[in-house]
Structure 1
Amino acid sequence: MEFNRKNMRALMRLIAFAVLLLVSLLHLGSVLQFLQTLLSLFSFLLVGLSLAFIMNTLLRPLEDRVFAPLNRRLGKRWQKICRPLCILLTVLLLTGLVLTVVFMVLPEIGRTLAQLGEQLPAFVDDTVLWLNQTAEKYGRSLDALQELDIDWDKIRDEISSLLRNGASSLLTGTFTAATSLVSGVFNAVIGMVLALYVLANKERLCAQARRVTYAFMPEKRADAVVRVARLANQTFNGFICGQFTEAVILGLLCFIGMLVFGFPFAPMISVLVGFTALIPLFGAFIGVSVGAFLILVNQGFLQALWFVLFFLLLQQLEGNLIYPHVVGKSVMLPGMWVLIAVTLGGNLNGVLGMLVSVPICSVLYALFREAVNRRNRENGVDAAKLSVRRAAGWDGPDSAG
């Protein structure tokens, strides 16, 4: 290889990257702590951009579809007030949705907790009795389980004593929680203001980002960055719209089915199932697990079992008939990679990681697939060698025809 100025510059960049990677791996704990501190400092910015992106999924249909005829008829004067009006409608719709869910769920949660407080002692006693009867049926004795007679007054006294002895710790924890709450509210307010500004000036901000990209990068590389950004925007937008619509449909179907079959706690469990369904793959089963436990305590094992069977049937109906048409091919990711992405995202950053892992993995998968196809075309590989078909009587690679 000829060591000209261009090659030397590329070699120096490679060496610098290798040294930086080695130092980062040797001090991984400090690097992660620094990144966490950096994220906390700019949390308001992340909140604002996330809110702007989510709100834009509702703002765009309002501008491009609902008010599109007025844009053509009324001219420039209407176009000046169309964006602020659509932003206001977006905020009102989202606020109304959140308030509706809150006021529908909170009273139900209060009633559910009150019922659980009344029925839990009887549920424990019934469980112990059932275990004893089962043990006697099979010739075994579980008389020791009778000692599980719970003295709720004693438990209440112990909790009161614990609270009195740990008053200082409780005060410190309360102060910390209050500080975190104030900080969270402040970041949410600043993030909301930032989101409104981004929505009002999104075309200008995108144009500025393009100018900066083409100013500091070669044109070919800048084209690639813009293409990746466009792909990421389309993927995230399609995923958010599809997943939200699918969660709403699943929650409504669950609510209707629970009312038809007479299951208790229909509003709260349906909202919980719809909310957790925003998490791909595993989310709805989290909601149904909580719902099954509530029904188990309230109406017994058999009714809880019927509820689980009902939800499994509903999940099959929704997954095979509704989900493909609602979400479609907005996230073109095979099922195996969805499972891997959700698992890795959950391990890295909990629920938030599970939410964003699928569209991120979808973007990476699409880029990697394009790179593989391009390399195969450049290398002149025959298309027949890239496809694998199982022939009749196939016993192995050598017998494949």
Structure 2
Amino acid sequence: MDCCATQGLIPVETALETLLSQVSPVSNTHSLALADAIGFVLAEDIRSPINVPPFANSAMDGYAVRIADLEQSLTLPVAGKSFAGIPFEGEWQPQTTVRIMTGAKIPEGCDAVIMQELTTETDAGITFELSLADVKPQANIRPIGDDVSQGQTVLAKGHRLTPRDIPLIASLGINDISVVDKPKVAFFSTGDELKPLGQPLEDGQIYDSNRYGIKVLIERFGCEAVDLGIIPDCPETLKEVFLKADKEADVVITSGGVSVGEADYTKDILDELGQIGFWKLAIKPGKPFAFGQLPNSYFCGLPGNPVSAMLTMYVLVQPMLAKLAGHTKWEAPKSIPAKATSTFKKHPGRTDYQRGIYSINEQGQFEVSTTGNQGSGAFSSMSIANCFVVLERERGRVDAGETVNIELFNASLY
């Protein structure tokens, strides 16, 4: 490749640094019922108001004992029962045992629970089929605060709530939490060649697939999606939609119209309404990616090719929206070395994100092969991939057996 072909292209790392430096997190917060909080970012630390568990309880079904009683006899009559939610009540007489179930409150004075599989029921009571030396103090007893102690910070401000977090917060008895408002992201596709789904294609037309992928990713990134549809290649109409989107959203995302064709008007409109931070990156696919600011919102212009649009959403827009949403615990996908098991074609000049399929061999090493067609319009290869093979900007062709870096898809692509 002629070195001049990449002159003026901004490195991906520089573009991301510039983009993030210009974005400020949303400051508005509100209280939300826990049942509705999935995907929101915490505006405050979650501190436990109670101990969990709030009382010592049994880790299994069995019998509560006092070890001192077992020193006298390994057969003890049953004094009563302690079930989950129905604790043993009354005076626990010496030289007796209490039948206890998993999660039930430990009777006062108990210093061990013996699992029922080590017992035999006899006419004289319960015989414990073990030696006294096998009974350890506090065996099978979960103490107060064993999971969470009162006052403990269980989730920090800036954490985005997952399905694993909701039951944790519920176990603390917390019903309402303070969260950051989800950023609003308005998006639309541009191009006279685009056709909505459900309508027949005419000569030279294609279906608008990008909007469907963009909407899903916006929501997966923890933002509110505002779909403005397909906008024709008309400067007046585009300007009108930009103004509308700028009033309604924190971020405006377009698909298509950021190249250098005669019908690509986006750049001119941005120059008129706002300012452009950068245009054209040293990335493949996705070179014609744009970032800028409108009067009231940020702007991201995605390429029109389907793979390019999804890749730039994933690599560049995702960390931007994470910062905007106050998601301070967000982490970029980790880079993992892997052995190439197929050839990866590449020319120096741009960082290349190729679609790959990774596996782990018998030696526990990562291996990766190409999905095949790496064209920016070949979305089928994106659908079967499970990672990106990230080939450095100045690297050329990769042969089988060489080491490459891969990034496993994070949850937003699954």
Sort the TM-score into its range (normalised by shorter chain). under 0.3
Higher strand share: 2
TM-score by length of structure 1 reads 0.21
Larger proportion of helix: 1
Greater Cα radius of gyration, structure 1 or 2: 2
